[in-house]
Amino acid sequence: MQTSLKVGLIGAGRLGKMYGQYLAHQVPGVELAAIADCKTEVAKAVAGELGVAKSYARHEDLLDDREVEAVAVVTSTSTHKQVVMDAARSGKAIFCEKPISLTLEDAAEMIELVAAKGLFFQMAFQRRFDPGYLAAKKKLEEGAIGDPVIFISISRDPYAPPIEFCDPKVSGGLIADMGVHDFDAARMYMGEVARVNAIGGTLAYPEMKSVGDIDNAIVDLVFQSGALGAVQLSRNAVYGYDIRGEIWGTKGSIQIGYDRQTPILMFTRDGISHDAVPYFMERFEHAYLAQIRNFAEHVRQGLPPSITGADAVAALRISLAANRSLRERRSVDMVELAERQTA
């Protein structure tokens, strides 16, 4: 039997901890060897809970651990560049949460170093591993709906992040933080984007204006093929987490998604009702697990990464073009944003 891949987890917040649980118990052929988090007590607590012996406050210390062969980077976006560059210098295989970075320059540097070192680098876009998004891709490829003509994507968060996170300098803002998922899905089904229109506003949480973020946006896409797209982003889905898509074709349509967590339906004087999906970890539980398993399997078997840095850059470029369109109240052609340009 093959020896286990020793993985280090960098970032043990909500999402990081979830990856930690998967890596500890549910990814065949993997051993979760070490955990780093800038909050020492968080790193220790999660390590204890998961039965992991080593925990660190500094990611550099984890990277110095020669036993660790691969790392999962689940820190906040603004630190991705530093952590990934350090991981690359230490020669680890790298799994990186989305978005890759806040700027195209940073992304380009990260990708160049990883490439120069010949390392394995895989981005996270968990929708690519979701049973619904996968089934839709299969149906599309089978020709079930003819040629795809429009892609519609709706992403709605149940509430806004803490105000300090909304600062576009930290998160990239609504469009980059949330929209990259939709832009990545758009590329998966429809190919590359040629032009972008965005409108948006701070409509539900006036306090967000203080940090310069919006809470609702609509981003239209014109694909290179001539096909169209519409992405709707929102932070005020008070009923839960609502992620849906539609691929609209010449011979039919595929709708992706559901809005239900528990398979019971209530009939009372108040009408007929069911619950909604609370948040992303419930909605994409299977997808996150499949994604980290895919990473481990590809590293162990020497396969190429399923989602590349170039994919991450492409989604980021659309986000940045949308932000520019929003600011300048005009259509923005993708060619306006060179691969490395700041938006």
Site residues for a second copy per CB under 8 A: 1, 25-26, 28, 51, 131-132, 135-136, 139, 144-145, 147, 149-150, 152, 195, 197, 199-201, 203-204, 216-218, 220, 222, 226-230, 232, 234, 236-239, 242, 248, 250-260, 262-276, 329-331
User: Closest CB to a second copy among 94 and 243?
Assistant: 243
CA gyration radius, the chain:
20
User: Closest CB to a second copy among 120 and 280?
Assistant: 280
Q: How far apart are CA 95 and CA 291, in angstroms?
A: 10
Minimum CB separation from a second copy for residue 283, in Å? 10
Chain centroid offset of residue 16 CA: 13
User: Closest CB to a second copy among 77 and 291?
Assistant: 291
Minimum CB separation from a second copy for residue 316, in Å? 22
User: Closest CB to a second copy among 31 and 105?
Assistant: 31
Minimum CB separation from a second copy for residue 174, in Å? 12
**Nearest to 47, CA basis, from 82, 77, 79, 23:** 23
Minimum CB separation from a second copy for residue 324, in Å? 13
Q: How far apart are CA 309 and CA 332, in angstroms?
A: 23
Minimum CB separation from a second copy for residue 205, in Å? 9
Cis peptide before 99 (omega within 30 of 0): yes
User: Closest CB to a second copy among 11 and 240?
Assistant: 240
Q: Compute how many other C-beta atoms are within 10 angstroms of the C-beta atom of residue 8.
A: 26
Minimum CB separation from a second copy for residue 257, in Å? 6
User: Closest CB to a second copy among 91 and 252?
Assistant: 252
The HSE-up count of residue 202 (CA atoms within 13 Å, CB side) is: 14
Minimum CB separation from a second copy for residue 274, in Å? 6
Q: How many residues does the chain have?
A: 343
The HSE-up count of residue 270 (CA atoms within 13 Å, CB side) is: 4
Minimum CB separation from a second copy for residue 295, in Å? 18
Q: Compute how many other C-beta atoms are within 10 angstroms of the C-beta atom of residue 15.
A: 17
User: Closest CB to a second copy among 165 and 205?
Assistant: 205
**C-alpha triplet 203, 237, 191: angle, nearest 5°:** 90
Contacts for 15-19 with beta carbons within 8 Å, 24 or more apart? 15/74, 15/97, 15/281, 16/46, 16/72, 16/74, 16/75, 17/46, 18/281, 18/288, 19/72, 19/74, 19/288, 19/292
**Nearest to 221, CA basis, from 321, 82, 88:** 321
C-beta separation of 170 from 77 below 8 A = yes
User: Closest CB to a second copy among 268 and 301?
Assistant: 268
201: CB partners within 8 A, 6+ apart: 214, 215, 216, 217
Minimum CB separation from a second copy for residue 340, in Å? 26
User: Closest CB to a second copy among 204 and 211?
Assistant: 204
